[in-house]
Amino acid sequence: MKRTKLSRRKMLRGMLGGTAVAIGLPALEMFLNTNGTAYAQGDALPKRFGIFFWGNGTLPDFWVPKGTGPTWEPSATLAPLADVKDKVSVITGMKVYTGNTVPHFSGSAGILSGATPLSNGTELATFTQPSIDQVIAEAVGQDTRFRSLEFAVQPGGRSLSYTAPHSVNPPENSPAALFQRVFVDGFVMPGSTPMPDPRLPLRQSILDGITEEAAALQQVLGQTDKERLEKHLDGIRALEKQIEKLQQNPPSLAACMVPQKPLDEYPDVDGRPPMSEISRVMVDILVMALACDQTRVFSQWFSSPVGNPLYPGATAGHHQLTHDEPGEQPQVQSILLYIMSEFAYLVKALGAVPEGDSTLLEHCAILGTSDCSYGKSHLLEEYPILIAGSCNGALKTGLHYRSPSAENASKVLLSLARGMGMTLDSFGQGDARVTSSLTAIEV
Q: In tens digits, what is the pLDDT along the chain, a chain of 443 residues? A: 455 666 666 777 776 666 666 676 766 766 666 666 666 555 678 899 999 999 999 999 999 999 999 999 999 999 999 999 999 999 999 999 999 989 999 999 999 999 999 976 655 689 999 999 999 999 999 888 889 999 999 988 999 999 999 999 999 988 888 888 887 644 232 233 444 444 444 445 666 777 778 888 888 888 878 877 877 777 677 666 555 544 544 433 222 222 222 223 222 334 578 889 889 988 988 988 888 788 999 999 999 999 999 999 999 999 999 999 999 999 999 999 999 999 999 999 999 988 888 999 999 999 999 999 999 999 999 999 999 999 999 999 999 999 999 999 999 999 999 999 999 999 999 999 999 999 999 99
First-to-last alpha carbon distance for the chain, in angstroms, is 39
Q: Is residue 247 part of a domain?
A: no
Say how far apart CA 239 and CA 243 lie, in whole Å.
6
Instruction: Read off φ and ψ for residue 87, nearest 5 degrees.
Output: -105, 0
Q: Can you give the pLDDT at residue 218?
A: 83
In 10 A of CB 347, how many CB atoms?
A: 25
Q: Can you give the pLDDT at residue 27?
A: 64
Instruction: Show the beta-strand stretches assigned E in 133-174.
Output: 149-152, 162-164, 167-168
Q: Can you give the pLDDT at residue 98?
A: 95
Q: Is residue 227 part of a domain?
A: no
Q: Is residue 1 part of a domain?
A: no
Q: Is residue 54 part of a domain?
A: yes
CA distances to 156, 298, 395, 419 from 126, in Å: 18, 20, 31, 27
Q: Can you give the pLDDT at residue 1?
A: 47
Q: Is residue 338 part of a domain?
A: yes
Say how far apart CA 378 and CA 376 lie, in whole Å.
6
Q: Can you give the pLDDT at residue 21?
A: 66
Q: Can you give the pLDDT at residue 346?
A: 99
pTM, two decimal places: 0.78
According to DSSP H, which parts of 263-329 are helical?
A: 275-291, 318-324
Instruction: Read off φ and ψ for residue 79, nearest 5 degrees.
Output: -55, -35
Say how far apart CA 138 and CA 148 lie, in whole Å.
9
Residue-number span of the structural domain to which 407 is assigned: 49-177+270-441
Domain count, the chain: 1
Please report, for the domain that includes residue 59, its CATH number: 3.40.720.10
In 10 A of CB 305, how many CB atoms?
A: 26
Instruction: Read off φ and ψ for residue 92, nearest 5 degrees.
Output: -125, 165
Q: Is residue 306 part of a domain?
A: yes
Q: Is residue 57 part of a domain?
A: yes
Say how far apart CA 54 and CA 363 lie, in whole Å.
23
Instruction: Read off φ and ψ for residue 216, nearest 5 degrees.
Output: -65, -40
Q: Is residue 383 part of a domain?
A: yes
Say how far apart CA 360 and CA 47 lie, in whole Å.
9
